[in-house]
Amino acid sequence: MDIDTLAGVARELLLVAPADFVTERTARQRAMRKDDRETAAAIGKLRKPAPAAWVVDLLAHEQALDEAVDLGPSLREAQANADPQEISALRRQRTSVVRALAQAGADLASDAGHPATSAVLDQVRATIEAAMADPHAGAAVRSGLLVQPLESVGFEDVDLDGALAVPDAVPDAWSGSGAPPIDIEEGRRARKSSRASRPTEPDHPDEPDQPGPEEPRADPAAERRAARQAETTARTESREADAALDAAERDLETAEARRAELARDLDRATAEVERLGRSRDDAESASDRARDLLAAAQEHRRSLGR
């Protein structure tokens, strides 16, 4: 199987509106089948992109994501140097770039006849932020082969499992630069931590402190693991639902093709019946004319014998 050919076809298909994806994929698979059956089979297995991934692929096709992804190394360097002014300036730039790209994606989706909802645009923004935070995610987003939106969770690597249509075509999405990801939510968590660490005044200052049951402490790492597990489960269920929908759409296409074939057979049979009916009418007319001629000949012979 030719990975480059498959990736090229996938990039073209991922620019098609999701509603038209299956029909176009079937056409490309059939066109490829006569030349390369293995690649054709792989084309038939390409997954339909989620709406947010489709919008990001539109942006990647326009090469609009380069500036956003290129901000990642600068942010990582600023964080490594603990330069608060530079970090603040780069974060403001990041916010501006993400907002502008989300609007550009919304415009592209509208131009394609499929406007993006606010929820989809939220996922687009999260995906662009993930591309800035993690160099692997940046390579995935710029590839134009995204089928699932991405999300950055703290300093953990962005989960790219099942995110690309042709993973082997984007080695940088898995090897990457090895640079640690940026914590997109670091400031928000720092503010929450600061509020949580402030001492609280006792309800009754005149009463001596009484020992009470120790409250169980939340485990942020466990909570993040649980959230990632829930997200992975949701993505798996989404992929399974997409696969089931694709299978149903293929079955529908097969049934429609069979119905069209039967309709053509019926048209041919109807035409044949009509032809046979005309032949029968012609034969009956010829028979009637023959009987008339015979009757005339017999009458003529009788008249001669008189």
Convert the pLDDT of each residue in 136-168 to its tens digit: 999 999 999 999 999 987 656 788 999 999 999
Q: What is the DSSP string of 189-253?
A: HHHHHHHHHS----S-TTSPP---PPPPPP-HHHHHHHHHHHHHHHHHHHHHHHHHHHHHHHHHH
DSSP H or E stretch at residue 126: helix 118-133
CB atoms within 10 A of CB 281: 10
CA gap 218, 189 in Å, rounded: 14
Q: Is residue 202 scored above 50 in pLDDT? A: no
CA gap 109, 52 in Å, rounded: 10
- The amino acid that residue 288 corresponds to is D
pLDDT, mean of residues 46-50: 94
CA gap 240, 270 in Å, rounded: 44
pLDDT of residue 207: 43
Q: Is residue 182 scored above 70 in pLDDT? A: no
- The amino acid that residue 248 corresponds to is A
Contact 55, 120 (CB under 8 A): yes
pLDDT of residue 101: 93
Task: Determine whether 123 is exposed, middle or buried from the number of CB atoms within 10 Å of its CB (0-12, 13-18, 19+).
Answer: buried
Q: Which of 99, 96, 236, 220 is nearest to 154 (CA)?
A: 220
Map tokens 């630069």 to a residue. 177
Contact 167, 197 (CB under 8 A): no
Q: Is residue 189 scored above 60 in pLDDT? A: no
Local confidence band at 110 (pLDDT 50, 70, 90 cut-offs): very high
Q: Is residue 212 scored above 50 in pLDDT? A: no
Q: Is residue 34 scored above 70 in pLDDT? A: yes
Local confidence band at 52 (pLDDT 50, 70, 90 cut-offs): very high
- For 60, the 3-state DSSP assignment is helix
The residues, any chain, with a CB within 8 Å of residue 262's CB and separated by 6 or more, are: none
CA gap 64, 55 in Å, rounded: 12
Local confidence band at 88 (pLDDT 50, 70, 90 cut-offs): confident
For the ranges 44-53, 255-264, 280-289, the maximum mean pLDDT occurs at 44-53
Q: Is residue 18 scored above 70 in pLDDT? A: yes
Q: Which of 141, 184, 179, 181 is nearest to 160 (CA)?
A: 141
The residues, any chain, with a CB within 8 Å of residue 75's CB and separated by 6 or more, are: 87, 90, 91, 94, 132, 133, 182
Q: Is residue 286 scored above 70 in pLDDT? A: yes
End-to-end Cα spacing for the chain: 96
pLDDT of residue 153: 75
Local confidence band at 303 (pLDDT 50, 70, 90 cut-offs): confident
The CA-atom distances, in angstroms, between 16 and each of 19, 25, 29, 110, 112 are 8, 10, 15, 13, 9
CA gap 39, 45 in Å, rounded: 10
Q: Is residue 17 scored above 60 in pLDDT? A: yes
Local confidence band at 79 (pLDDT 50, 70, 90 cut-offs): low
Helix crossing, 37-44 with 21-33: angle to 10°? 170
Give the range among 70-79, 119-128, 208-217 with minimum mean pLDDT. Answer: 208-217
Of residues 221 and 28, more confidently modeled:
28
Give the range among 2-6, 65-69, 175-179, 189-193 with minimum mean pLDDT. Answer: 189-193
Contact 105, 124 (CB under 8 A): yes
Give the range among 75-84, 134-143, 293-302 with minimum mean pLDDT. Answer: 75-84
| DSSP conformational letter for 140 | H
